[in-house]
Amino acid sequence: MKILSNSVVEFTLEQITSMVHFQGEEDGAGIRASDLKPRFDAFLERYWYGCTTKDGKQDIKEYTLNKEAQNNNSESGNQYERQRESFDYKVKIINHKNDPVNLDDGKEDNDGAGKSVYASYYIKKRLGNDCKLKFYNDIKIEFISPHQYLRKQINCLFPIFLAVNGFGLGNNKGYGYFKRKGDDENKLIENIKTYQSLENEYIRQEGKNNKEKGVGIYQFEKKIKKRVQLEEIERFHKILKSGLNSKENDGKYIPSFMLKEAKVRKGVTREKKALKLFLKKENYDISSLTRKSDINNNDSFDNLEKEKIYYVRGLLGLPLFYEFRQVSAKFNIKIEDVDRFPSPLKYIPISDEKVIILVDYSKIEEFRNKVSNVEFVLKEKNKKEKKLCSKLPSEEEYSIHQLFKKDGIIMNNISGKEFDYSIISDIECER
């Protein structure tokens, strides 16, 4: 038993926000080892391998499984295969004291410990009545490995991994966030900044030289106390990307910052306007979709420069489709050799008031480099598919950093009204 106990690295976690679980009706459903291990393996590989000498990388292979297969992958230079490496440890997760979460109340629920368990409209809409939220008061995670050096790395890197990752559906929007018990806001921010340093070092060693690279760390603090933390994340994200409609905002519409405020190359048409004009060409009545500042009677799809239709919102993650409900029109998104592009944004609720925003600019640049054309496919019942083609803009044509930087779009348009927005640690753009 002593030998076994010496092989264990244990962490006690506190749950900050409810986790949306696909097996939420089962007792004990929570963080799954089958989800945690491959994600943490990839984290270990990137930041342990990436910040190690060539000889050190060879030594690290002694702590992985399937060494022969991995050596073959290394010789072939297949990066995607190498990312599937599995380190020689096991994970055991113990959940205690499950607190039931009511999806129907839609309100903040405080139990004296200050936890909020709001179930947003976003989650209900996506999963309907089958949505299950889980919240535990006590979570223990045990890593079991015979390798002392590997246990040392786990002990060092897992708190960093935990600080920048959530679990379950909607984890990039703040759901399913956990922290190590005893870590306060300052410690969480310290861990997040360590993650930024690790990523910057990895990028440096990889020799990537795009202008906007690395991870930016920003934060907002909600000013309206009656609103709930996860609801505020959803609200902030909509103002940034899709726009906040009048039904959600006391009759006032707030246009998308990405579409209305951010600068783009002269003569460019962004995708939302192009899609509306495409529908107009297909004899849809788009009067319910337009405002005077958006489209006028003289605008025509045929008059657009087709080479200058840019898809900008996709740079912050691909949705499954775009739907114009007022006219019952739906566009699917098709990109050759790309099935999905997860959002490079993460919202991390480090307290009931403060939310950290991580922006991975390197992922955005990788996506730009991989994708040339994006097709929006209009599917109508009993009719042939019709397509609208667009492009992803380069960083020079449309910068994401202009949204988040000091004195940028967000700071100049939103800070001080509903949110206090600030920069913790920005990227350094090479100009």
| pLDDT 10s digits, 352-395 | 889 999 999 999 999 999 998 999 999 888 788 999 999 999 99
**Predicted model pTM:** 0.86
Q: How far apart are CA 140 and CA 94, in angstroms?
A: 5
Q: How far apart are CA 155 and CA 153, in angstroms?
A: 5
pLDDT in tens, 294-340: 777 788 999 999 999 999 999 999 988 999 988 999 999 999 888 88
Q: What does DSSP say about strands 321-324 and 329-334: parallel, antiparallel, or unpaired?
A: antiparallel
Phi and psi torsions of 88, nearest 5°: -85, 75
DSSP single-letter state for residue 228: -
More confident residue, 26 or 192: 192
pLDDT in tens, 71-117: 444 443 433 344 467 999 999 999 876 665 544 433 344 443 334 34
pLDDT in tens, 36-74: 999 999 999 889 865 555 555 556 778 888 654 444 444
3-state helix, strand, coil in the chain (%, to 5): 35, 25, 40
pLDDT in tens, 195-250: 999 999 888 888 877 778 899 999 999 877 666 788 889 889 999 998 888 777 77
pLDDT in tens, 146-200: 999 999 999 999 999 999 999 988 899 999 999 999 999 999 999 999 999 999 9
Amino acid at 263: K
Average pLDDT, the chain: 82
**What pLDDT, on a 0 to 100 scale, did the predictor assign at position 246?**
73
